[in-house]
Amino acid sequence: MATTGSLNLEESASVGGMDHVLDILASHQHPCIIIGCNAHRWMGSAGTHSRTCDILVRDYQLESIAVELIETSRWERVSPGLSPYSHTQPDSADDADVILRRTTIDDDSKYTDFELNMLCLWSEATYRIQVDDCPTIEVPDIHVVNNVLMEEDWHPAAQRTDGFWYGPCPHQDSKMKNIPKWLTPRPLSVKGYPRGKSPSKDTPIFVPTLPTYLDALIYHVTQYKESRRGLSSESSWQIRNLTRYLYLELPHQQLPLLIELEEDQFMQEYLRTYVRKPYFVYHDVPGLGFIGTRVREWDPASFPDYPRRITPDIQEKIS
């Protein structure tokens, strides 16, 4: 299993609300691999916060782990259709192999509404990722305070040397060498915010690597349109988000990705027809007033001559 190095988290008053889940997985000699909305926020996507924790579980250990979680009295097994959103739209939680609902919330902070209240266990057969063959990246926690990209090889600006920056904001432990001095990295934790893992706990948490994860998402989109509509819909949304925030349609991102994907034909066609939302910057122009200019976020030449366009001479002045 490929991982990053150890991660240093800022201490906070919160204890890990999911420590017991990590302990149970460890007792089964099972890694904690999170998937779903929380995983894709560790991949740089600015998707909404989710109160559902999705975990990938080996097929043959699914029931034994579920039973042990229920025996803690912190979770109860529920039937599909009891998700808060099931009555309005297909919800991916309803398609999980095991759906558990929280019975108690340990966190008494002001952020209790962000605490995880659903736990979905997904089998390898359903999610189409094998636990023991899955290349992974270590992440700090199950909770994602700020969406950041942990697998930094996929950052769209990773190879830039001109001081220009776009894409996901780097995190406080980033190993990227070309982060501009004017850019403030995002913290990996916030004091008082719910934590899945206690700062003192050394149990690692992983997410699949981007190519592995995209292959699974593409399978959901193409094969589960009727049988697991919630999962198919959410996976389509995640593909769109990952493309948007990692600029996967750009040649320097697309070509390395297609080489690693098994579902390369689907993704190539998807990226060929992908249309990015227009992006504007606003500035004062003498004699014209306050106007907007449509730009290409990755192309400094498309920006007007004002501070958002970071060129080496501007970089020197603000460093």
For each of the domains in the chain, give its residue range(s) and CATH number, in order of start. Answer: 19-148+186-246 (3.30.460), 279-318 (no CATH)
pLDDT at 150: 96
Any idea what the Cα angle at residue 217 is, between residues 215 and 220, rounded to 5°?
115
Hey, how many other C-beta atoms are within 10 angstroms of the C-beta on 172? 17
Judge whether 234 and 92 are in contact, CB under 8 Å. yes
pLDDT at 7: 43
Task: Categorize the per-residue pLDDT at 181 as very low, low, confident or very high, splitting at 50, 70 and 90.
Answer: confident
The helix (run of H) or strand (run of E) holding residue 280 is: strand 279-285
Q: What is the distance between the alpha carbons of residues 62 and 121, in angstroms, rounded to a whole number?
A: 7
To the nearest 10 degrees (0 to 180), the angle between helices 264-273 and 210-223 is 80
Q: Report helix, strand or coil for 21.
A: helix
- List, for residues 253-285, the tens digit of each pLDDT value: 999 999 999 999 999 999 999 999 999 988 776
The better pLDDT of the pair 203, 11 is held by: 203
What is the model's pTM? Answer: 0.86
- List, for residues 14-24, the tens digit of each pLDDT value: 478 899 999 99
Judge whether 184 and 176 are in contact, CB under 8 Å. no
- List, for residues 206-227, the tens digit of each pLDDT value: 999 999 999 999 999 999 999 9
